[in-house]
């Protein structure tokens, strides 16, 4: 598959973890570090990258399985969450670290895990930022003035995640610190995530905040054309009229047990938008069995085919309590007084909260999350794929398999 059609895509989201403490005491001020870009990639093998992406993918689908129980559309960035939790993991020890590694699918030894994240990040940034596409990934850490974060922890975050330490005064001005962090997130996501931390979510007891932000904008090689308003069939049996777009051309396509899938790569051919359309009336059944094995079958089965692809335009935002979801996946100690984050600093630290927000927009020129549905008209003919019912979608790196965004669309009107 060498030539494809493309979408204008604007993806943005951020993941953050706020760390609180049970015991605090006076300590010397540590050296300040400013945010700085990473330039060279560490020596990491293809096998190590494959192990990292495999674990991240398993976590992505486990988290999807937890979130799918809710109502409405769904969107999150497994890449953003995994990277932010990897920074937390770097400071965890003992059973706290074991729980995080198990839930996140971290199989590599820690001394290889962080270089692998760095190498994957740099590879994505190098290959995605071509032909007018834009990918931005940023990490940051904020600490209470005077709170002694360990030097080796800060050095690791700076070396492998490009995260620089920024000092704020949570104790005297928690609202000012919250606004400063939110402005950083808004800047890194090109204004798409405006209020990651809600008022009151950061308080005088906060000592550390770690955050990741990711933004992606990609272009179709040829734009879709408006297809007008068409019916979209909801899960409850009702029908709504939504704006559709259409394109005839060569797409990656596969069909398996209970589904069809279409792949539309972005310019440069490195990243692509993959749309999975369960058979009519089987969406919830398909979601229940949507595992890494099923996803692998979908991606490996894609073959270039001439299609007439019709899919909806849509825009929506999504946010959720990441802490609740991580607990459901087996991370408990990190959020309690029994947590061991002695790799970050001395004292009984614990994760006070974890939040995640995402935004997506799809139209003739681009998207921020998308999905598609299709049907076959027969061998040798132009196959028509019409996405007129709920679907799943993901945006992934075709070379490594890293999933940048994963979600579903139950109603293109948003909500």
> Residue 8: which pLDDT band, with cuts at 50, 70 and 90?
very low
Mean pLDDT is lowest, of 4-13, 272-281, 344-353, for 4-13
Statement: residue 237 has pLDDT above 50:
yes
End-to-end CA distance of the chain: 35
Q: Chain-wide mean pLDDT for the chain?
A: 82
Residue 415 pLDDT level (bands cut at 50, 70, 90): low
What's the pLDDT tens digit per position in 74-123? 999 999 999 899 999 999 999 989 999 999 999 999 999 999 999 999 99
Q: Inform me whether the pLDDT recorded for 57 exceeds 80.
A: yes
Predicted confidence band of residue 369 (pLDDT cuts 50, 70, 90): very low
Percent helix / strand / coil, the chain, rounded to 5: 30, 30, 40
Closest CA to 404 of 275, 266, 219, 214: 214
Which pLDDT score, from 0 to 100, does residue 15 have? 58
Torsion of CA 123, 125, 127, 133, to 10 degrees: 170
Per-residue pLDDT tens for 166-187? Answer: 998 988 998 998 899 899 989 9
Mean pLDDT of 321-327: 88
| pLDDT at res. 377 | 15
Q: What is the pTM of this model?
A: 0.84
Cβ contact 54:284 at 8 Å: no
What pLDDT does 367 receive?
A: 62
Average the pLDDT over 138-144 and give the result.
89
Contact (Cβ atoms closer than 8 angstroms) between residue 211 and residue 163: no
Q: How confident is the model at residue 14 (pLDDT cuts 50, 70, 90)?
A: low
| pLDDT tens string 260-285 | 999 988 888 898 889 999 999 999 99
Give yes or no for residue 39 having a pLDDT over 60. no
Q: Which domains does the chain have, with CATH numbers?
A: 11-218+316-361 (3.30.497.10), 225-312+369-409 (2.30.39.10)
pLDDT tens across 278-305, in order? 999 999 999 999 999 999 999 999 999 9
* Choice among 18-22, 300-304, 359-363, 401-405 with the minimum mean pLDDT: 18-22
- What pLDDT score was predicted for residue 384? 63
Q: In the prediction, which pLDDT does 320 show?
A: 87
Per-residue confidence at 391, pLDDT binned at 50, 70, 90? confident
What does the pLDDT average to over 349-353? 83
- Sequence-distant (6+) residues with CB within 8 A of 405 are 11, 13, 75, 76, 77, 78, 79, 216, 358, 360, 369, 393, 394, 395
């Amino acid at each position: 598959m060498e030539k494809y059609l493309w979408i204008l895509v604007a993806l943005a989201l951020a993941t953050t973890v706020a760390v609180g403490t049970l015991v605090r005491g006076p300590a010397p001020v540590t050296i300040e570090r400013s945010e700085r870009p990473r330039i060279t990639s560490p020596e990491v093998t293809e096998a190590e990258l494959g192990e990292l992406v495999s674990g991240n993918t398993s976590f992505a689908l486990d988290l999807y399985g937890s979130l799918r129980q809710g109502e409405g559309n769904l969107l999150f960035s497994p890449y953003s969450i995994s990277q932010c939790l990897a920074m937390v993991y770097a400071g965890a020890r003992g059973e706290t670290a074991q729980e995080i590694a198990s839930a996140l699918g971290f199989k590599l030894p820690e001394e290889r895990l962080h270089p692998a994240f760095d190498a994957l990040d740099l590879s994505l940034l190098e290959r995605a930022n071509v032909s007018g596409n834009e990918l931005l990934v940023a990490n940051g850490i904020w600490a209470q003035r005077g709170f002694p974060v360990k030097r080796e922890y800060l050095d690791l975050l700076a070396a492998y995640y490009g995260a620089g330490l920024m000092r704020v005064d949570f104790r005297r001005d928690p609202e000012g610190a919250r606004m400063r962090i939110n402005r950083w997130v808004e800047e890194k996501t090109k204004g798409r995530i405006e209020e990651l931390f809600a008022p009151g979510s950061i308080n005088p007891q906060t000592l550390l905040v770690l955050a990741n932000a990711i933004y992606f904008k990609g272009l179709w090689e040829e734009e879709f054309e408006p297809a007008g308003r068409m019916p979209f069939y909801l899960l409850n049996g009702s029908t709504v009229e939504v704006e559709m777009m259409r394109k005839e051309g060569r797409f990656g396509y596969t069909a398996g047990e209970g589904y069809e899938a279409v792949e539309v790569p972005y310019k440069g051919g490195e990243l692509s938008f993959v749309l999975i359309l369960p058979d009519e009336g089987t969406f919830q059944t398909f979601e229940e069995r949507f595992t890494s094995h099923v996803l692998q079958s979908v991606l490996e089965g894609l073959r270039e085919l001439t299609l007439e692809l019709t899919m909806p335009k849509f825009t929506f935002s999504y946010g959720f309590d990441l802490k609740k979801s991580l607990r459901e996946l087996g991370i408990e100690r990190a959020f309690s007084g029994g947590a061991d984050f002695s790799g970050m600093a001395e004292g009984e630290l614990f994760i006070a909260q974890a939040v995640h927000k995402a935004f997506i927009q799809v139209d003739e020129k681009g998207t921020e999350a998308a999905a598609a549905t299709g049907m076959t008209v027969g061998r040798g003919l132009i196959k028509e794929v019409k996405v007129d019912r709920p679907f799943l979608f993901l945006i992934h790196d075709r070379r490594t398999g890293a999933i940048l965004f994963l979600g579903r669309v139950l109603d293109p009107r948003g909500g």
